[in-house]
Structure 1
Amino acid sequence: MKPVSTTLNIQIIMKVPKSALGAFVSVILLSIFFANIINLISTTLVHPKDHTKERFFKIGDKFDNLIWILQITDIHVSIFQDPSRITEFKEFCHYTIDRIRPSLVLASGDLTDAKTKDAIGSQQHEPEWRHYRDILKEYDITNKTRWLDIRGNHDNFNVADIKSKQNYFSNYSVQGKEHPRSYMIQLRKGKILYSFIGVDACLEPGPRRPFNFVGVIDEAEVQQINKLIKKAGESGSNYTIWFGHFPTSCILSSGSENIRDLIKKDKNGMVYVCGHLHTLGGLIPSMYSMQKGGFLELELGDWKDNRMYRLLTIDHGMFSFVDIPHRSWPVGVVTNPKHALFLNPLKENLENIQQSTHIRVLAFSLARIRTVRVRVDHEPWTDCKHIKGPLYVVSWDPQRYSSGLHQIELFVKDIDGRELYKSQPFSLDGTRLSFGVLPRIALMSNASDIFQGFFISTVIIYSLPLFLLKYFHNSILGNEKRLKARDNCLNKWLKKLWVLTTVDRIFWPVILYPIYLMIGPWSVGYIVEDHIGVIFAWGIFVNGAFLPGSFTYMYGFIQLVTFQLPFTLIMVNLIYYRFQQLSLKSGKKLKWKESVWLHLPFSVVFTTQVIMAYLFWLAYGALAFFLGPLRTWSLVLASVLYFWALHLPENHLRKATEVLLTEDDPSQAEVYLEPTKSEKNS
């Protein structure tokens, strides 16, 4: 009996009420998702605690209760790339340190580049560390100031542990010999004791790039940091500045507490400063946020490409800072009234500003300062009086600006004619500005969760439609109906996907490969030094240690987007082309231009994957290349599937013809493949 031909819209296989229900559920899920995102990046703080009342200072014109320090990050001293990094770092150590004379300098990681000459592989280069050490010695840095350096992920590339010969940080840095990991340095200025806690979240062991992007603090490190917090409290410390290489969003915890919990426990912790993200390639040049724990987090633009450094001050209990491009003079920061965006009611007493008698400015330049002027809300400019060192002040009446936001402008000029102009908002009633959405996402989220979410969501979005179409096909078989998609782009693509799901020898390898990436090993090779390890999406086993999955998920996501998804679309088109070719019995050979267009997409995707596999070889060696299901074996699989699709026999497409009509027959008559011999006999 000849089957009945029925034209159906593939889009509406399900009934309308089910579609409406699905849409409703989708809206609910999206609402929950966005609500969680908003809650995550919310910077709403609870009411100030009583201890802020203890931090009242009468801010006047005295040179007291004041400290200023510098931060530099991601120096990336390299023997292969950009020699100006080194020459300009020398300028920083000479001119900048000499003119600003900070009490302390924080060098927050990635002191060296640790990349191979081709900038793809990664390993520690002792000459880079010698350059770093020798520059600090040449300019007598340790006698001019306190230099607090700490490791970054580049300083930990291909380092098995802190006792490894490759851990040059312990021999060539200022703090490495005495403080191989997290540590605290304290500094007393007058009656005020300042604590500086450095957090080392480098992986141990430290794999080569790119799987060294996210840091971890284990239980041992958590206990060490807790000891530092306790020691700071027992010593009577007044203020703590936390620093490290990784933002808190890029630090996992395998211990009982995460990094944000630890900083929150420190009632004197005012700020956490870091680097690592390099302003996300310029996407977020000002990466600042207020964490829910009641402390500021400030990512500093890198020295490597942007030549940035930071001036931080605590003036009578009020924290201020400014990020400065190298060679930009004069340098100036208004410490009272402080910038409204960075008011912290949990750690700062607003009465300090409300009852202050003077506006206070720190100004520095290569030449003597000639003029420092300020004005508020476009009132006339007022000259500031020099008190001592970089401090300039002018009296004011804060009661005139007691409500809302106001603007203070600063003008500085030195005797050589260099000028600085800047403007910032301030508030005396606690009115605060909002941090940008992108900085909050970058600093307040969890990078590993985001990477994992991208990877798993992509696998689900990729696999689920194919499974559903496979299910629908099996449910329609035997109903004596045949489907023809309506003439629109979406339905045509659904029909092509449908044909793919009927070819088992192609469908199952295509659908199972992404699922394999979620659970199976990606590669086996020399992950750290001479230690063989195994890489999975969910973690890395090497040298008797387990490194939890983080950037591995993003690496898998990139593999899916750059290879698996485009390859699947190519297979969809190719199999449908073969389906039409056999259905219409077209024996016509393709012209050379048509043949090029048919094979060009696969050639591009395949070539891209070959390049990616080669880069993986350069990063992890030949063993990881040949024992690499993620990159190398996927090329073999793709080649086999592509060959099969080009030469699919008729019987492999018979399932598709049982329910589908071709769209190339002008009369839309039903077209059938030639019956097999067994079917003729039956």
Structure 2
Amino acid sequence: MRTTKSAIFVITLMLIFSILIANVTNILNHEDSYIVGGKTKEKHFSSRRAIPQITDTVDNLIWFLQISDIHISIFRENSRITEFREFCHLTLDVIKPTVVLATGDLTDAKTPDNIGSQQNKGEWEFYKDVLKEANVLNKTIWLDIRGNHDNFNVINFESPQNFFTNYSIQGKEHPRSYLYQIEKNGVLYSFLGVDACLKPGPRRPFNFVGLLDNQEIDEIKLLIEKVEESKSDHTVWFGHFPTSCIISQSDGIRSLLRTLDQGMVYVCGHLHTLGGLVSNMYTLQKDGFLELELGDWKDNRRYRLMAIDHGLISFTDVGHREWPVVLITNPKHALFVIPEKENIESIANSTHIRILAFSMSKITKVQVNIDETGWHACIHKNGPLYVLEWDPSIYRRGLHHIKVFVKDELNREKTISQPFSLDGTRLSFELLPRIALMGNVSIIFKGVFYVFLVLLLLPIISYRFTHKLVIQGKMRKPVMRKGLLKSWIRKMWVLSSIDRLFWPIVLYPIYLSFGPWSVGYIIEDHIGIVFPWGTFVNGSFLPGSFTYAYGTLQLLALQLQVLILANGVDYRFRYHVSKPGLKKSFWAHISLNLPFAMLMILQIIMAYLFWLAYGTMAFVLGPLRTWSVILTGVLWHIALTLPEKCTREAAMVWNTKSEISIQTDDNVNDSNVN
């Protein structure tokens, strides 16, 4: 029987591990190389024109900027607004982009305590005023779109909280997804924005993952048809949420992006470099397009320079006030080649190296060095374009490195280096960015929740089952040496044998797996009901996703609760079995009750934060947070006041003094008094 129980436990762990491995393998099982010269799937260029040879002209070239997660706030860090004003005044004047993509979270929308969330008119006024003062609309085409912060506490488009409509550039004409097309030098460029904000938009924290309902998907399909009918040459998708953070009710977001042959890249924000863990979050999706997440303006002051040069897309992420800004457009960076969207042979057939260089003062020097063979001066052609004639046949095989040095009149210097390849040799994207962008956070959040649920319930249920078998004489009690392991096995075993503790410990986590978790004002003056699998509010259903991540924190607290209760129950058990009872010193009482006190403080803080986020009703009618505090206190009181009759069954198994020896519990500093 012992073998059977162990086998079940091992099989369960193997199943969980296999699921995780399968998902990671699915992400990593991606072709990282391709072959040129007729064997790769080349881009099907528009019938409007053929892509000419890459030479030294400024034709077939466009450059634009992306800025994301600005988080304009009137409560904290005024430099966000000050430096955003500098970006709109100075950076745009220097770079002169054709387009600026502002990909969401334009405002912070947090309350002064940094916990609650609601739209703040003052923040939107700052956003609008900065753009107006900088005369942005006369400098460039500003394409902004909403992020989840811009949607906090917004019940619908007619809501007085929906400031995006009146204070953004595109909001009045394009409140959701939209298409903007630009023709330059006979080349048609399409910029297709995807708005995946929840509809309606709850307050934080249940507003982290985006959603494309069937209505929005149909709207995007209409935009795709317009792109195809116009025979657009190049399409850039943009939005706030990475594709991994978007739930779709029918066609997945990636399948929509795959629809357009000329859809080269999807740029987004939202993840903020994952707290600094992933500073550069890029990947090539299996559906054949690049996905590029941009680090935030809020904390990192980043923006992105992008260019489409003769059908090849290149980019660089730049820190604010970092000059010069340099981008090599030919030869393209080997990591970011898009085999199904770009004709890589155009690099092999090109006549010139091409570089875009910008600075606050006049650029005096641009030099190129390939494979450390010496520096060569570039020629300035027009605007930011610098070129150098080259013979690409020298670099036909393998991976090579190009280095560019740029200097301006104020002696500010920038040196960049990137690999390139003409025969299909490529590099692999880093693991964490691939997982973050190619995965599905909804599945991950849900999977982690249920894994922790199993890890919480499986041990105590196993001990309960084993205990019953031992009592019935169908199984022998495990024989182990004295020590810390045996001590904690006894503690968990005793806890599982006491009905008044076992059933609440088991049933409450099971309840959390289906809910409801809370009832309260989820959005404005609208009462909603939160379940782990979704939220009902104002006649709408928002599928659960981040709710599972939120619930996982509660399961972690419950895991601590089980360990603390096991320690308390074991103390009471030994009190009854070791007659006339145990007397504990002052420090022993502290060591027994301190973990419980710390757990209670933690749960009270989490309940308080929930109250700040959703109000009094949600706090009172909150089984997830508030009621768990009460349950924890009640169970601890039960554990420390258990009558002897409740421990008799456990004593039938753990009934010898050697098994409950105080020597195995030095951590509580008990002492027997005869």
TM range (shorter): over 0.9
CA shift at 1:498, angstroms?
A: 1.0
Structure 1 residue 20: deviation in Å?
Answer: 6.5
Deviation at 1:488, TM superposition (A): 4.1
Establish whether residue 558 from structure 1 lines up as the match of residue 553 from structure 2: yes
Secondary structure class of the residue paired with 2:317: strand
| Separation (CA, whole Å) in 1 of partners of 2:650 and 2:7 | 29
In structure 2, do the counterparts of structure 1 residues 387 and 665 end up closer, same or farther at CA, with 3 Å as the change threshold? closer
Equivalent runs, 1:358-369 vs 2, <5 Å: 358-369=352-363
Quote the residue 2:25 is aligned against. 38
Residue 608 of structure 1 corresponds to: 602
Report whether the alignment pairs 1:656 with 2:650. Answer: yes
Residue 2 (structure 2) aligned to one of 14, 17, 22: 14
SS in 2 for 1:270: strand
Q: Which residue type is aligned with residue 413 of structure 1? A: K
Written as runs of structure 1 = structure 2, the 5 A alignment for 1:148-297 is: 148-254=143-249, 256-297=250-291
CA contact 2:69–2:269 (8 Å) conserved in 1: yes
| Aligned-partner Cα distance in 2 for 1:301–1:25 | 38
Whichever residue aligns with residue 593 of structure 2, its letter is: H
Q: 2:340 aligns with which of 331, 335, 346?
A: 346
Is the 2:16–2:451 contact (alpha carbons within 8 Å) kept by the matching residues of 1?
Answer: no
Matches within 5 A, 1:454-465: 454-465=448-459
Distance in 1 between residues matched to 2:307 and 2:255, nearest whole Å: 25
Q: Given the alignment, which residue of 618, 641, 647 partners 1:647?
A: 641
Structure 1 21/620 Cα, relative in aligned 2: closer, same or farther at 3 Å?
closer
Describe how 1:312-351 pairs up with structure 2 within 5 A: 312-351=306-345
Are 1:583 and 2:577 matched, yes or no?
Answer: yes
**Alpha carbons of structure 1 residues 528 and 28: separation in structure 2 relative to 1, 3 Å:** closer
1:384 aligns with one of 378, 383, 390: 378
Counterparts of 2:491 and 2:321 in 1: how far apart (Å)? 60
Could you tell me whether the CA contact under 8 Å between 1:56 and 1:351 is conserved in 2?
no
Verify: 1:415 aligned to 2:409, yes or no: yes
Measured after TM superposition, the shift of residue 660 of structure 1 is: 2.3
Query: Distance between the aligned counterparts of 1:352 and 1:388, measured in 2?
Result: 22
How far does residue 655 in structure 1 lie from its aligned partner after superposition?
A: 1.0
AA aligned to 1:49 is K
| Deviation (angstroms), 1:587 | 3.5
Distance 1:177 1:402 in 2: 51
Query: Which of 432, 445, 459 matches 1:451?
Result: 445
Report deviation, 1:649: 0.3
Secondary structure at 1:422's aligned position in 2? strand
- The normalised TM-score by structure 2 is 0.94
> Which of 538, 543, 549 is the equivalent residue of 2:538?
543
| 1:128 aligned onto 2:126 | no
CA 1:424–1:129: 2 relative to 1, 3 Å: same
Cα deviation code 1:421-478 (max 9, x no counterpart): 1111000001110000100000000001000001011111111221122112112223
Question: Could you report, residue by residue, the CA deviation over 1:604-639 in whole angstroms, capped at 9, with x for unpaired residues?
Answer: 010011011111111100111111111111111111
Give me the CA root mean square deviation: 1.8
The separation in 2 between residues aligned to 1:496 and 1:274, in whole angstroms, is 50
Distance in 1 separating the partners of 2:442 and 2:539: 23
User: Which residue of structure 1 aligns with residue 667 of structure 2?
Assistant: none
Q: 1:646/1:19 Cα in 2 relative to 1: closer, same or farther (>3 Å)? A: closer
Alpha-carbon distance, 1:482 to partner? 5.8
Q: Map of 1:47-196 to 2, 5 A cutoff?
A: 48-49=40-41, 51-52=43-44, 56-196=51-191
Distance 1:666 1:386 in 2: 85
| Paired position in structure 1 for 2:670 | none
- The residue that corresponds to 2:666 in the other structure is none
1:535-569 CA-to-partner distances (Å, cap 9, x unmatched) read 111110111101000000000001111x1010110
Q: Which amino acid aligns with 1:184?
A: L
2:560 is paired with a residue whose SS is: helix
Q: How many pairs are equivalent?
A: 653
1:15-59 Cα deviation digits (max 9, x unpaired):
3x8856875785576346413321134332787435447764311
Work out the CA distance in 2 between the residues paired with 1:18 and 1:505: 25
Over 3 Å counting, the alpha-carbon distance change for 1:213 and 1:29 in structure 2 is closer
What are structure 2's unaligned runs of at least 5 residues? 663-674
Cross-structure match for 1:4: none
CA distance in 2, matches of 1:664, 1:333: 74
Aligned to 2:298, the other structure's residue is in SS state coil
Contact 2:307 2:314 in 1 (8 A): yes
Q: What's the secondary structure of 1:433's corresponding residue?
A: coil
Instruction: Tell me how far 1:100 sits from its aligned partner.
Output: 0.1
Contact 1:359 1:396 in 2 (8 A): yes
Compared CA separation, residues 629 and 141, structure 1 to 2 (3 A): same
1:487 aligns with 2:474: no
Share of identical aligned residues, percent? Answer: 56
SS at match of 1:541: strand
Q: Distance in 2 between matches of 1:272 and 1:487?
A: 60
* Residue identity matched to 2:481: R
Per the alignment, in what secondary structure is the counterpart of residue 276 of structure 2?
coil
C-alpha distance in 2, partners of 1:386/1:396? 15
Q: 8 Å contact 1:53–1:349 — kept in the other structure? A: no
> Structure 1: which amino acid aligns with 2:438?
M
Query: Are 1:367 and 1:416, in contact at CA under 8 Å, matched by a contact in 2?
Result: yes
Q: Does the residue aligned with 1:242 lie in a helix, a strand or coil?
A: strand
Q: Is the 8 A contact 1:93 1:139 kept in 2?
A: yes
Are the equivalent residues in 2 in contact too, given 1:484–1:662 (CA < 8 A)?
A: no
Distance 1:517 1:84, change over 3 A: same
Compared CA separation, residues 53 and 266, structure 1 to 2 (3 A)? closer
Select the residue among 611, 623, 629 that pairs with 2:623.
Answer: 629
User: Which runs of 4 or more aligned residues in structure 1 lie more than 6 Å from their structure 2 counterparts after TM superposition?
Assistant: 665-668
CA contact (8 A) 2:66 2:305 kept: yes
Could you tell me which amino acid in structure 2 is paired with residue 39 of structure 1? N
Query: Helix, strand or coil: the match of 1:410?
Result: strand
Judged with a 3 Å threshold, the aligned counterparts in structure 2 of structure 1 residues 364 and 517 are, in CA distance, closer, same or farther, namely same
CA distance, structure 1, for counterparts of residue 16 and residue 72 of structure 2: 47
Whether 1:595 aligns to 2:589 is yes
CA distance in 2, matches of 1:387, 1:42: 43
Distance in 2, matches of 1:23 and 1:526, equals 44
Matching residue of 1:3 = none
Deviation at residue 579 of structure 1 after TM alignment: 0.8
Q: Matched residues in 1 for 2:221 and 2:657: separation?
A: 70
Query: In the superposition, relative to structure 1, how do residues 662 and 555 fare at CA in structure 2: closer, same or farther (>3 Å)?
Result: farther
Does the residue aligned with 1:603 lie in a helix, a strand or coil? helix
In the alignment, the residues of structure 1 paired with residue 151 and residue 656 of structure 2 have an alpha-carbon distance, to the nearest angstrom, of 59
Cα distance between partner residues in 2 of 1:78 and 1:667: 60
Q: After the TM superposition, which residues 421-570 of structure 1 pair with which residues of structure 2 at under 5 Å, given as runs?
A: 421-479=415-473, 485-561=480-556, 563-570=557-564
Cα separation, partners in 2 of 1:89 and 1:290, compared to 1, 3 Å: same
Taking structure 1 as reference, are residues 110 and 667 closer, same or farther at Cα in structure 2, changes over 3 Å only?
closer
Q: For residues 510 and 346 of structure 1, do their structure 2 counterparts lie closer, same or farther at Cα, with a shift above 3 Å needed?
A: same
Deviation at 1:489, TM superposition (A): 3.4
Inter-partner Cα distance in structure 2 for 1:259 and 1:416:
47
Q: 1:36 to 1:617 in 2, by over 3 A?
A: closer
